[in-house]
Amino acid sequence: MSCKDCQTVLLDLLLDPGAPTHAAARRHLASCPKCSLEFESLEATFTLLDAWKAPDPSPYFDQKLAVRLREEQAKAPEGWLERLKSRLLFNTGRQFRPALAGALALILLVGGGTFANLSGFSHSRPQASAAVQDLQILDKNDQALQAMDQLLQDDGPVEDNAAPPTS
Q: Note the pLDDT tens digit of each residue in 80-100.
A: 888 777 777 777 667 777 887
pLDDT of 80: 83
pLDDT, average across residues 102-126: 75
Distance CA 44, CA 57 (A): 28
- Best CA proximity match to 42, nearest among 19, 16, 14, 18: 14
Residue 42: how many CB atoms within 10 A of its CB?
A: 15
Report the C-alpha gap between 5 and 12 in whole angstroms: 12
Distances (CA, A) of 10 to 16, 17, 51, 68, 124: 10, 10, 21, 45, 80
- Check whether 156 has a pLDDT greater than 80: no
Mean pLDDT (the chain) is: 81
Which stretch of 24-28, 31-35, 74-78, 157-161 has the lowest confidence by average pLDDT? Answer: 157-161
- pLDDT at 78 (0 to 100): 77
The verdict on pTM exceeding 0.75 is: no
Residue pair 84/76 in contact (Cβ under 8 Å)? The answer is: no
Give the span between the Cα atoms of 43 and 46, in whole angstroms: 5
Contact 14, 45 (CB under 8 A): no
